[in-house]
Amino acid sequence: MQSTELIWTLISFFLTLLIFSYIFGDNPFFRLTSYLFVGVTSGYFLTLIIYQVLIPRLWTPLFEGSLLERGLTLIPLILGLLLLMKVFPRYSKLGNIPMAYLVGVGAAVTIGGAVLGTIAGQISGTIDIFDFTTQASLENNPFSQLFNGGVILLGTISTLVYFQFSTVSNKDGSGERSTWIEWVAKIGQLFIAITLGALFAGVLIAALSALIERLDFLQRVITGFFY
Amino acid sequence: MEEMINCPMCGKPNQPGEKSCAFCEARLIPLLGSNEGQEDKWVHSSVELPEEGLSFDHLHESERKDSDKKIESLQGIPSIENEILLPGFDVHGVQENLLPNWLQNGDSKDEEKMGEERKEESQTEDLSSMDWLGVLRDGESGGVEISSQIEEIIPGSSSWFEENPPEKSLVSNLEERIYGEEDPLLDWVSSLEEDNEAGKEIDKKSVSDETDSDEPLTVFSPVPTDSPEESLVDPTAWQGTSSFDSSRESFSQKESELPPWMRDSSPYENPDIPEIPEEKHDFTKDFMLPLDDEIPKNETSSSFPEMDLKFETIEPGEDIPEPIESVEQEKSLFTEEEAHLSPSEDHSVDLETMLSEMPEWMRESEDKENILQLESESIPEIIQEHIEDVSGTIKNELNLVDENQDQVQNEEITGKSFLTDEMAEWIKNLPDEEVFPEQDDKTEGSDLSENDVIIPEEISKPKFVDQELPDWLDEESVIESAEPEETESPHSMPLDEESLQPGMMPTWLAAMRPVDAVIPESSTLEENAEAEISGPLAGLFSIIPGEGLVTQYKKPPVYSIRLQVSENQRREAALLEKIVADERKIPDIDSKKARSKHGFLRMLVGLVLIAALLLPLIGTPVGSMVTDLKLSSIGQDFYEVLESIPQDGKVLLAFEFDPGFYGEMSLTASGVMERLLQKEEQFVLISTVPTGPVMGKNLLLKGMEQVAPESPEVQVKYASENIVVNLGYLAGGATSLKEFAISPRKAARLGMGVNVANQTVWNHPVIQNVNKISDFSAVIVFTDKIETGKAWVEQVKPEMGSTPLLFVSSAQAAPMFLPYLQSQQIQGMMSGLGDGVAYAQLMDLPGERAGYWSAFRNGLMVILSLILIGAISQGISGLFRTRNKNEA
């Protein structure tokens, strides 16, 4: 084991032990490690942004690029300077221009991707389930495929119905959803609960996997010192 | 021995011939010109009345018609003229008597503040005028007295009188003109002449007493005697009562005989004699100075308005009502004056000559009027208004007197009037306005008397109004009596209607007219509007009826604002309110209690979990295989796609996870990395997460360690970056991913660790042929977040074409990627420790994954056990709690 690797292994070992000290409650060691992690991450982010964003995307084109590149680089430079004005309340309105640009472009990209990549893809995938020709070519059991497709369809519809809150008002001003919508909504509520449970289980499994990895690391380091 | 000349200013005697007073340096000789003879005549004519033609009977008849206002007419005459025309008649006294008792009382009250010295001066001046008249009445023998008395009035005139002895008194001239040649009271006059000598003595004595005595003297006391005949006919009695008796004893004796109201009205007896302004004396001096040779016609005419006064006498035996009203009192005054003036010597002086010979100071009388007018401005307005009313009445009286005069002329009773053929031409040619001054002029002339009687400013309107006005001062009666005469007044200027042009309103003024003036309906509206009956706005029209509007409004009905909610909704609302309230609360955390309550349990759970995890890690032998684990169908797809990647293919690895998930991601992705290394694929690393490139590099090195732990060549190959290109961090999130999917060279121009000054990363041999995203053999995304995985699916997958998109996901994000797997947007996915161990077991990869899988299962068992224990314990505690509540 090289010396540098040993040093970084020991640092990792002690920092892991300090994090595990949280078993005994909140303590300065845990907080020290947390603050250290946040600080190192911020420093790493700054260094990464300088070397990965500012130098290759701003400095180099502005001082080493062609005239066209310099001219085009002024646009993000000005927008970036205006965005810095958000720090100063007196000139914060100047930052609205780059913010508008960022929000507009980001919304367009996200919405376009969501429509084409998620909604259209999900609708197409749900319809394909009931394409028995395709499923027959895949040699899947058509009944099981139909059942799976029916569950997916029920789950999709019932979940959408659950988030439907529009009602017709009664004479006394109150409004209640119709009975069949209430039943469908409850089915959707069930699907939502299963989904959230699956997500929680995934988080638990992810955390358990991380714990296993760290315990294996500690076990390896400890066995390494003795063996 | 020549008589001493008394100074008109200080009254002290001076040596004859001196021009100025040795004591006060006042001028003793008037500044007269060369026409001394004319002035002499004027003086005599001005102070003497013609003896002929006096007819008191006629006077009685003419005066009784309108006797109530006869005395008041004197107020319209300038005072200086009164003094000249009626010597001995005290205008101040008349005015005081004209004033009602209430006004005199007011005066007396206000004038108590005046000094005694000033009072004496005013009385001395009045007495001097009386003495002067008395001397005039005595004829030529009284020339010295005349001069001395005039000297008091007109300083410097004594010497002038000495040089020009009076020939005929003005009073006698007036009587001659008024009553004609015949004198019905000739006996009465003769009796007066018989007693004239005695009168001279008395006058001399009175004059000497006046000049020497400092005490106030009574000049004229219009006191009705017990016998009217005696007082009116007998000149001796008149002299004894109303002449210049200066002795206090005689005055007191007379005063005792007076009724109380007369005592109050007597100006000389009242200690509150109105103060005579000092300007009067100065005025006398001033108008004496500018003496010119010629008399301006206008001023002279105004100084001598045509007036013939006829005095009423009371017939013997006629009863005088007791108490005598003020007007009646004035009647008796004039009667006494007639009796006083009647014994004057007969001096027939032509009036025209008299006017032409008028001294210069008399010509300045108009100036005096102007000055008096200025002085009258100091009089309160309300007094002036009454004076104007009275002066208007005086004007009417003058007109009546004129009419009477005309009647007398028609009856050829009187001989000559003022305006006769004998009068100078310039007087005849004078316009009527100048001969008969307007009412205002007479009012101003009356101000002279007002000036003598200073009405203090303290006489305010309320005090004036509070007093009961006498009938003769009643405004309504005066106005009613004056109005018809005013319309018939010859002095009013006739209006020539033809000469008057119709008024033309200019356009700019017409444009400025108010709208109300143009709209005729406004007046109609005002007429129709109802007047306010009560309240502070009573009497006003067009008032907004606020009271009616108020009464129209009623108390609004009370509506229930209680929300109609069900019990369930109310409970949920209370829960929501509690949650919101708890969010705002800052709970007091007691660390000791928290530790004592949950610390042991937390520590117990942690220690149990660690122990369950460590035991398989420690106890599992190295190289053991997991036999009961099979790869899922989704993992099978991933495996098939990954195996379909050609050797030496260019695989794009996107590391989109944070360091916190490195342990899980390393266990899941280690088998994939090892398989890719076994296949000697070329790797291009990229990440939209800042820590992604580092995580990818570490994961790649760990895989190399697992694949070729004992093969330095492989490590050097990968370490030299000949087969690995790290594009680094791709800033911009989904937007940059979109750009990278469209144009990878532009989006990730510089790689991590590449000298950007010399070359771009795209010149690297691994990716020099890559121009678009579909040029990669496969794209494998290592992610622990749903958003980043969706971004790759949404932004990059549409640009990838047939290039497979594989996901190595964390267990927490895997459920959200399953729909994309179902829709074939993702060709394969591996998630969690189980898929990683299964893929490695499937591929027969070396490692210690059996221990991990055992630890993972133990850990899941502990967690499930703890959840089950907690649920059971909570259920039991709840069951006991409910039972206790039921028992309670």
- 3-state SS class at B97: helix
Burial tier of B248 (Cβ tally within 10 Å: 0-12, 13-18, 19+): middle
Minimal C-alpha gap between A114 and chain B (Å) = 6
Distance of alpha carbon B372 from alpha carbon B443, whole angstroms: 11
pLDDT value of residue B348: 46
Per-residue confidence (pLDDT) for residue B432, from 0 to 100: 52
**pLDDT of the residue at B241:** 40
- Of B606, B816, B852, nearest to A216 by CB-CB distance is B852
Cβ distance A117 to B852 less than 8 Å, yes or no, reads no
Which of B614, B662, B824 is the closest to A219 by Cβ?
B614
Query: Which amino acid is located at B253 in the chain?
Result: Q
Of residues B322 and B356, more confidence is placed in: B356
Contact B70, B332 (CB under 8 A): no
Give A29's pLDDT tier (boundaries 50, 70, 90). very high
Of A25, A172, A216, the CB nearest to B599: A25
Q: Do A121 and B594 touch (CB under 8 A)?
A: no
pLDDT tens digits, B759-810: 677 878 888 888 888 889 999 999 998 899 999 999 998 888 889 999 999 9
- Binary contact (B795, A152; C-beta < 8 A): no
Residue B475 pLDDT > 60: no
Question: What tens digit of pLDDT does each residue of B352-363 get?
Answer: 566 566 666 665
For residue B603, give the nearest of A24, A114, A215 by CB distance.
A24
User: Which residues share a beta bridge with B617?
Assistant: none
Q: Do A121 and B793 touch (CB under 8 A)?
A: yes
Among B794, B809, B863, the residue to mutate for chain A (most A Cβ within 10 A): B794
Alpha-carbon gap, residue B147 to B149, rounded angstroms: 5
CB contact under 8 A, A113 and B791: yes
Residue of A nearest to B729 (CA): A52
Whole-number Å distance between alpha carbons of B338 and B351: 20
CA distance A123 to chain B (A): 8
Contact B812 A118 (CB under 8 A): no
Q: Is the pLDDT of residue B613 over 60?
A: yes
Please answer yes or no on whether B729 and A52 come within 8 Å at the CB atom: yes
Distance of alpha carbon B655 from alpha carbon B783, whole angstroms: 6
CB contacts of A172 in chain B (<8 Å) are 564
- Smallest Cβ–Cβ distance between A109 and the set B734, B757, B831 belongs to B734
- What's the length of chain A? 227
Q: What is the pLDDT of residue A158?
A: 92
Which residues in chain A are contacts of B749 at CB distance < 8 A?
Answer: 56-57
Tell me the chain B residues in contact with residue A76 when contact means C-beta distances shorter than 8 Å. Answer: none
User: B468: pLDDT confidence band, cut at 50, 70 and 90?
Assistant: low
pLDDT digits (tens, 9 = 90+) for B89-119: 444 444 444 444 555 444 444 445 455 555 5
Residue B801 neighbours by CB distance under 10 Å: 10
Give a three-class secondary structure readout of B588-657: CCCHHHHHHHHHHHHHHHHHHHHHHHHHHHHHCCCCCCCCCCCCCHHHHHHHHHHHHCCCCCEEEEEEEC
The pLDDT score that the predictor gives to residue B114 is 52
Longest CA–CA span in chain B (Å) reads 183
- Determine, for residues B666 and A213 on separate chains, whether the beta-carbon distance falls below 8 Å: yes
| Interface pTM, i.e. ipTM | 0.87
At residue A210, does pLDDT exceed 70?
yes
pLDDT at B779: 93
Of A205, A221, A226, which to mutate for an interface test with B (greatest number of B Cβ within 10 Å)?
A205
Give the gap in angstroms from C-alpha A160 to the nearest C-alpha of chain B: 16
**Nearest CB partner across the interface for B832, out of A41, A124, A209:** A209
Over 90: is that where the pLDDT of B443 sits? Answer: no
pTM of this prediction? 0.49
Which residue has better confidence, B467 or A19? A19
Task: Name every chain B residue with its beta carbon within 8 A of the beta carbon of A39.
Answer: none
| B582: pLDDT strictly greater than 50 | yes
pLDDT band at B717 (very low <50, low <70, confident <90, very high): low
Closest to A121 (Cβ–Cβ): which among B728, B823, B851? B823
Residue contacts between A and B (CB atoms, under 8 Å): 173
Give alpha helix (H) positions in B16-138.
36-47, 56-65, 79-85, 91-98, 101-110, 116-138
A1 has pLDDT over 50: yes
Q: What gap in Å lies between CA B458 and CA B454, rounded to an integer?
A: 11
